[in-house]
Amino acid sequence: MAQNPLLKSYNFLYFLGVLVLLMGVQVSYMYWGRDIKPIVAGLDAFVHWSLLGLLVFGLINTFSFYHPRNYQLFIVLAAPLLLVGIWEESAAWIFESIYEDEVKLWMTESFPFRITVGYLLIAGAIGFSLMWYRLDERNAAEKRQQEIERMSKEAELFKLRQQIQPHFLFNALNSINSLIGSRPKDARQMTQKLSEFLRGTLKREHNDLLSLEEEINHLNLYLDLEQVRFGHRLNIQRKVEEGCLKQKLPSLLIQPLIENAIKYGLYGTTEDLTITLKCTLKEKRLWIEVRNPFEEGSSDIGGTGFGLPSIKRRLYLIYGRTDLLETRIENGTFIAQLSIPQSHV
């Protein structure tokens, strides 16, 4: 049930103001134009317009329960004819019981004015009610749809974040398993770092946007794990401008890029790998670039891996854009570049 618009904010005071104005117009006309006693004119105006006010309020309130779907034009035009007659007869009966002689003269002379104004007010109230409640229903439906879309979006974002963890966790557990026999010390160290990484991930779960500084601190835990796995073979060069550290970006956005770089740079080879992480701030955007050596033809970058598609999907859900992640290959180097809008810059 929609709320009666007259009960919202100060609308009821405006409505009372209109009734008082009508009472004042009638009293002035009766007293100055027809020389009727002020007490008679005031009582007559009070009875008629108070009764009409109650009728209009009741109509508007009724339409908050009942919304006619058909014959709306007929209801707006025809119903007021019946209601204005009932209103006039009821008001006249109440007033005649108090001032029988005076009311007959006034009723005869003011009948056209009173009927016309009463009809317009009742018809306006009905038309306004039908329009108001129809718009209220439409707005409520739009809000429900927006809430459904928001919840669906949040669920998908949550699912994407959760998929990153098992994807990385399986790799880490496999690495720990392979180190237990040959390098038990490194296996214990990796297990401890994995615990710290997952604990940090749980603390960040409900934060959609984090500062780059927080993201890099969390990324360092991941890189510590990978450093245990690959030792001196993995080198990370960081080129982060100081002004970038306070900028905001979605959580767990850089890790899949680094993981992708490690996967296609170290797996299947015994050579060392240098990954470059560069962050700059320009054009009201935070630019994040990850570079790693890549041998063309060794694998299909565009069609494999979970990380890059998940990043693209998350960026689209958060920012509604598909151009915030670009990848390319230049002279044997695979480059993944993020551009995160910073509205506050």
128 and 202 both lie in a single domain = no
User: Does 85 map to a domain?
Assistant: yes
User: Does 18 map to a domain?
Assistant: yes
Q: What is the pLDDT of residue 304?
A: 41
Given a cut of 80, is residue 168 above it in pLDDT? no
- Identify the band that residue 187 occupies on the pLDDT scale cut at 50, 70 and 90: confident
The upper half-sphere exposure of residue 184, i.e. CA atoms within 13 Å in the direction of its Cβ, equals 1
Question: Which range (28-32, 77-81, 137-141) has the least confidence?
Answer: 28-32
Question: Which range (91-105, 112-126, 232-246) has the least confidence?
Answer: 91-105
Which of 83, 117, 146 finishes a domain?
146
Domain that holds residue 88: 5-146
Given a cut of 90, is residue 129 above it in pLDDT? no
193 and 309 both lie in a single domain = yes
102 and 218 both lie in a single domain = no
Q: What stretch of H or E contains 1?
A: none
> What phi and psi values does residue 138 have, to the nearest 5 degrees?
-65, -45
User: Does 176 map to a domain?
Assistant: no
For the record, the structure tokens of 25 come out as: 């117009």
Given a cut of 80, is residue 207 above it in pLDDT? no
Q: What is the pLDDT of residue 247?
A: 92
- Identify the band that residue 89 occupies on the pLDDT scale cut at 50, 70 and 90: confident
Q: What is the pLDDT of residue 6?
A: 67
Candidate ranges 63-67, 75-79, 222-226; pick with highest mean pLDDT: 222-226
Burial class of residue 322 (count of CB atoms within 10 Å of its CB; 0-12, 13-18, 19+): exposed
Which of 127, 146, 165 finishes a domain?
146
User: Does 163 map to a domain?
Assistant: no
User: Does 161 map to a domain?
Assistant: no
User: Does 122 map to a domain?
Assistant: yes
Q: What is the pLDDT of residue 277?
A: 94
138 and 211 both lie in a single domain = no
CA distance 266 to 251: 25
Bigger pLDDT: 8 vs 311: 311
Question: Which range (102-111, 166-175, 231-240) has the least confidence?
Answer: 102-111
CA distance 116 to 195: 81
107 and 193 both lie in a single domain = no
Mean pLDDT of 340-345: 75
Domain of 232, CATH number, reads: 3.30.565.10
Q: How far apart are the first and last CA of the chain?
A: 45
CA distance 67 to 46: 31
Q: What is the pLDDT of residue 185?
A: 84
142 and 209 both lie in a single domain = no
137 and 274 both lie in a single domain = no
**pLDDT tens digits for range 249-305:** 988 888 888 888 888 777 656 678 889 999 999 888 999 999 988 876 555 444 444
Q: What is the pLDDT of residue 269?
A: 64
140 and 207 both lie in a single domain = no
Given a cut of 60, is residue 103 above it in pLDDT? no
Total number of domains in the chain: 2
User: Does 177 map to a domain?
Assistant: no
Mean pLDDT of 49-69: 79
Tell me the pairing of strands 333-341 and 285-293: antiparallel
Mean pLDDT of 300-323: 73
Mean pLDDT of 118-134: 82
Percent of the chain with pLDDT over 70: 78
Q: Quote the mean pLDDT of the chain.
A: 78
Q: What is the pLDDT of residue 303?
A: 41
Mean pLDDT of 218-245: 85
128 and 246 both lie in a single domain = no
Which of 119, 146, 173 finishes a domain?
146
Candidate ranges 44-53, 98-107, 159-168; pick with highest mean pLDDT: 44-53
User: Does 326 map to a domain?
Assistant: yes
97 and 242 both lie in a single domain = no
- Identify the band that residue 21 occupies on the pLDDT scale cut at 50, 70 and 90: confident
Given a cut of 70, is residue 101 above it in pLDDT? no
Strand order in the sheet with 325-330: 234-240, 273-282, 285-293, 333-341, 325-330
Percent of the chain with pLDDT over 90: 10
- Identify the band that residue 178 occupies on the pLDDT scale cut at 50, 70 and 90: confident
For the record, the structure tokens of 62 come out as: 């009724």
300 and 208 both lie in a single domain = yes
Given a cut of 90, is residue 332 above it in pLDDT? no
- Sequence-ordered list of residues with C-beta below 8 angstroms from that of 234, at least 6 positions apart, any chain: 223, 226, 227, 262, 266, 272, 273, 275
187 and 126 both lie in a single domain = no
> What phi and psi values does residue 292 have, to the nearest 5 degrees?
-150, 150
